[in-house]
Amino acid sequence: MVSTENVIGVIGGLGNEAMVDLAKKIQFVPGYAQNSYVFYGNSRLAYKPHEVGQPWKPEDEPELRKKATAEHSARIMHFLGCGTVGLACNSAHELFREVMPALPLTFVDMIYETAQSLSGIGTKVLVLGVDSLVNSGLYHRALDQYGVQAVSPSAQNMVKVMSSIYDTGFGIKTAKITPEAEKMLCEVITDECERQGCRAVVLGCTELPLALTAESCACFKRDSLIPHDVKIVDASAVLAGSLVESACAGHLPESDLDFSPTVNTDWFSPAVFILDTLEELVEVQSEIIRLTVKHLDEKGTRLKGSYMHLPTLFAVGNPPEFFSRAKALSGSVSGMHENWKCSLADILEENFSSMSGCF
């Protein structure tokens, strides 16, 4: 295998807005510009809208599909020369902990990194996230390893958290931050801190920091909407720092990757962009999200979860051999200075046409 320069890979897709958010946060980490980046927003890793909140078993079709698609996504990171890889999603960590050891990649585990950052905090820590993440105990076990007691929201408050994320009228996954979602999350934090005596909250879903930003939380504290002394821990920000600190050289496989999907793999060829900076990535992906919402509005519908996003693949900083390898993945390869918006309408139409049952 051929060694490459430091290439940091990010697998998003359980919310392309969360991938944008992580890209923004990486830019605040000293030394980030010394690396190249590959961001793969593979929305097909997520549950379809009608599958969310169901008690799926490992042998059920949605879980088999997610595992096969995760394995495929991890192999793509290897194929594109990544050395260090992280996930812009908390809930997917349990799955990728199974998948990543089979490949020569350094997997930066956001949950363990966040738990380590809270070592010695001296207070109970409330874990906020989707119900599957909270019920899995991923954060509870990780925090316990560092001597930190984790607590979960009540059943009633979990309903509010899920609504703030998934509600098709005001939830974060509609690609809009609404007062209704913010109000619900503030109510949950205040109630749980008063009831359970915790003074730290882990945002254990990468959608949550979109509504609970450092700036908005400062305003919420000022207006007494959340306790002024509660520490809001953004796991995405922890991951951003850990990825840059852990950056290492990747190894391009000597032979071409077999991209033939298995019977369970959910594959849609991504729109590929070769860019110079993370700022450009944020601009392009944010525009794609805006155009996606506009495209669906014109169809009389709206985003109903991560699965409905167009899969995207970004190279930042010219990773070795990316262009030639990306052509094996997609027929749509663009640069920042090309008129990529003109072809996007057709790509979006094809993407949504492939989603039978999602509207």
Per the prediction, the chain carries an average pLDDT of 91
Q: Which residues lie below 8 Å from residue 26, measured CB to CB, with a gap of 6+?
A: 32, 37, 240, 243, 244, 278
Backbone dihedral angles phi then psi of residue 339, each to the nearest 5 degrees: -85, 65
pTM of the model: 0.93
Q: 36-41 and 312-316: which strand pairing?
A: antiparallel
Question: Helices 179-196 and 214-222 meet at what angle, rounded to 10?
Answer: 70
The whole-number pLDDT of residue 357 equals 66
Local confidence pLDDT in tens for the 359 residues of the chain:
444 589 999 998 666 889 999 999 999 999 999 999 999 999 999 898 889 888 899 999 999 999 999 999 999 999 999 999 999 999 999 999 999 999 999 999 999 999 999 999 999 999 999 998 999 999 999 999 999 999 999 999 999 999 999 998 999 988 889 999 999 999 999 999 999 999 999 999 999 999 999 999 999 999 999 999 999 999 999 999 999 999 998 888 876 666 667 889 998 889 999 999 999 999 999 999 999 999 889 988 888 888 989 999 999 998 888 888 888 888 777 776 667 777 788 888 888 888 876 66
Rounded Cα–Cα distance for residues 227 and 223 (Å): 10
The whole-number pLDDT of residue 337 equals 66
Q: For the segment 37-52, what is each residue's pLDDT rounded down to a tens digit?
A: 999 999 999 898 889 8
The whole-number pLDDT of residue 254 equals 73
The whole-number pLDDT of residue 17 equals 87
- Other C-beta atoms closer than 10 Å to the C-beta of 101 total 11
Q: For the segment 79-93, what is each residue's pLDDT rounded down to a tens digit?
A: 999 999 999 999 999
Contact 355, 295 (CB under 8 A): no
The single-letter DSSP state of residue 49 is G
Contact 29, 237 (CB under 8 A): no
Rounded Cα–Cα distance for residues 228 and 222 (Å): 7
Q: Which residues lie below 8 Å from residue 351, measured CB to CB, with a gap of 6+?
A: 268, 310, 311
Place of tokens 């509010």: 160
Rounded Cα–Cα distance for residues 250 and 85 (Å): 10
Q: Catalogue the E-assigned strands of the chain.
A: 2-11, 36-41, 84-87, 106-107, 125-128, 150-151, 200-203, 231-234, 249-252, 271-275, 312-316, 333-335
The whole-number pLDDT of residue 1 equals 40
* No. of helices (H) and no. of strands (E), the chain: 14, 12
Rounded Cα–Cα distance for residues 119 and 144 (Å): 9
Percent of the chain as helix, strand, coil, to the nearest 5? 50, 15, 40
Rounded Cα–Cα distance for residues 95 and 296 (Å): 31
The whole-number pLDDT of residue 332 equals 78
Alpha-carbon distances of 20 from 36, 40, 180, 280, rounded to whole Å = 16, 11, 23, 11
Q: Which residues lie below 8 Å from residue 25, measured CB to CB, with a gap of 6+?
A: 234, 236, 237, 240
Handedness of CA 272, 277, 280, 285 (dihedral sign): positive
* Alpha carbon 85 to chain centroid, angstroms: 12
